[in-house]
């Protein structure tokens, strides 16, 4: 769904009501989870694959702050992206609208949280696209406190264009995905800096 003005709250509500009962628009639901015993997940063929990481700091405080930021969707860079409703809890099967403002248009996309990770040293979730999304695929957002006490923000995704405009403008779409990865890392770094006072340099 796209428009030249930002969709109203009522328009978002109607859109999500239509999407809520639909299945994800790709068959490999949960593929970003993988099996931790075997290392990183194997991404499905036929998609573009992306993996980006940001060091946020060290220790339990940084991990707690970063986890809180993920729960509040702070990884979405303000100004050109937003989650609707903004207070959607991080829980399996929750459906959200992903707003993107680019090339003079507002794009409203739909996604469903397909799994949540809530462990002592790792927190995150993945959402998958619904039919109302311009792309199809899955994206996972995690923060993890490693054995050396370093806390990392990690984004892993597979995707391909679904809407005709996304297919036609594939180079623009890929540029926006790269921009999102860069700005998302900066947003998480800023969230940790603002809360903890520890300056985090975006990578």
pLDDT of residue 129: 98
pLDDT of residue 40: 80
| 75-86 tens-digit pLDDT | 999 989 999 999
| 27-67 tens-digit pLDDT | 999 999 976 655 688 899 999 999 999 999 999 999 999 99
Q: What is the average pLDDT value for the chain, to the nearest integer?
A: 92
SS3 per-residue string spanning the chain = CEECCCCCHHHHHHHHHHHCCCCCCCCCCCCCCCCHHHCCCCCCCCCEEEEEEEEEEEHHHHHHHHHHHHHCCCCCCCCCEEEECCCCCCCCCCEEEEEEEECCEEEEEEEEEEEEEEECCEEEEEEEECCCCCEEEEEEEEEEECCCCEEEEEEEEEEEECCHHHHHCHHHHHHHHHHHHHHHHHHHHHHHHHHHCCCCCCC
Q: pLDDT class for 161, splitting at 50, 70, 90?
A: confident
Task: Write down the pTM of the prediction.
Answer: 0.91
| 6-36 tens-digit pLDDT | 999 999 999 999 999 999 999 999 999 976 6
Domains of the chain: 2-28+47-196 (3.30.530.20)
């Amino acid at each position: 769904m796209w428009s030249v003005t930002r969709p109203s709250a009522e328009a978002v509500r109607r859109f999500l009501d239509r999407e809520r009962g639909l299945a994800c628009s790709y068959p490999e639901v949960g593929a970003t989870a993988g099996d931790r015993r075997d290392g990183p997940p194997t991404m499905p063929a036929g998609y573009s694959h992306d993996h980006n990481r940001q060091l946020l700091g060290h220790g339990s405080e940084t991990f707690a702050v970063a986890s809180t930021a993920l729960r509040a969707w702070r990884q979405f860079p303000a100004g050109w992206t937003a989650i609707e409703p903004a207070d959607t809890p991080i829980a399996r099967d929750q459906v959200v609208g992903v707003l993107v403002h680019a090339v003079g248009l507002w794009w409203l996309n739909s996604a469903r949280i397909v799994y949540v990770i809530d462990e002592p040293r790792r927190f995150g979730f993945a959402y998958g696209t619904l039919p109302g999304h311009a792309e199809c695929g899955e994206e996972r957002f995690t923060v993890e406190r490693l054995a050396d006490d370093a806390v990392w923000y990690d984004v892993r995704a597979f995707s391909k264009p679904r809407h005709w405009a996304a297919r036609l403008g594939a180079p623009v779409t890929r540029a926006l995905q790269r921009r999102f990865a860069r700005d998302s890392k900066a947003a998480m770094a800023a969230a940790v800096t603002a809360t903890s006072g520890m300056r985090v340099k975006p990578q």
